[in-house]
Amino acid sequence: MNETLKAAGHIGAELAAAKADLQREMERHRKTWRQLEQVTGLLREACELIQEQDARIEVDMLPAGRVLMSRIRAALSQQAEPQSSCKWTRDEDTGAYGTACGATWHLIDGGEPEEHGQYYCHHCGKQIDDEGADHE
């Protein structure tokens, strides 16, 4: 019995450490996402400013500048708009949740994420939107 308690205490400590690591990693991803949004905004502003200045100058922009502008615009147009939440959809057959960010989660006891204290996606860190789940 004493060995079982020691093992349980050791597992609890490992879980607490893993949870702290996960929280640090999620915060790092959130910071990176915010930085990416800032850079994207600056690129959009730069493109608009360059386009306005190019329209006022009688000499055309250099070919290299045009190529760079078209590459930036293409990259910005392909970027998805950031989502404020991650949609989780429950598969009726398996009970697993498929997420908008591409992960699949199985809740061993069944139920809904909130019942298990899950409010943020473990994969992308965004708030869970499980409106497709059966709320009782």
Range of the domain at 125: 85-129
134 within a domain of the structure (yes/no)? no
Length of the chain: 136
CA distance 93 to 96: 8
| pLDDT tens, residue by residue, 42-80 | 888 888 877 777 666 666 667 777 777 778 877 777 665
Q: What is the pLDDT along the chain (136 residues), one digit of tens a residue?
A: 788 888 888 888 888 888 888 888 888 888 888 888 888 888 888 888 777 776 666 666 677 777 777 788 777 776 655 567 889 999 888 888 999 888 898 888 778 888 888 888 888 888 898 764 544 4
Pair type for strands 127-129 and 97-99: unpaired
pTM for the full model? 0.40
Whole-angstrom Cα Rg for the chain:
23
Same domain for 61 and 94, yes or no, is no
Q: Report the number of distinct structural domains present in the chain.
A: 2
Same domain for 61 and 89, yes or no, is no
30 within a domain of the structure (yes/no)? yes
Same domain for 7 and 70, yes or no, is yes
Where does the chain show beta strands of DSSP type E? 85-90, 97-99, 104-105, 127-129
Structure tokens at 1: 């019995």
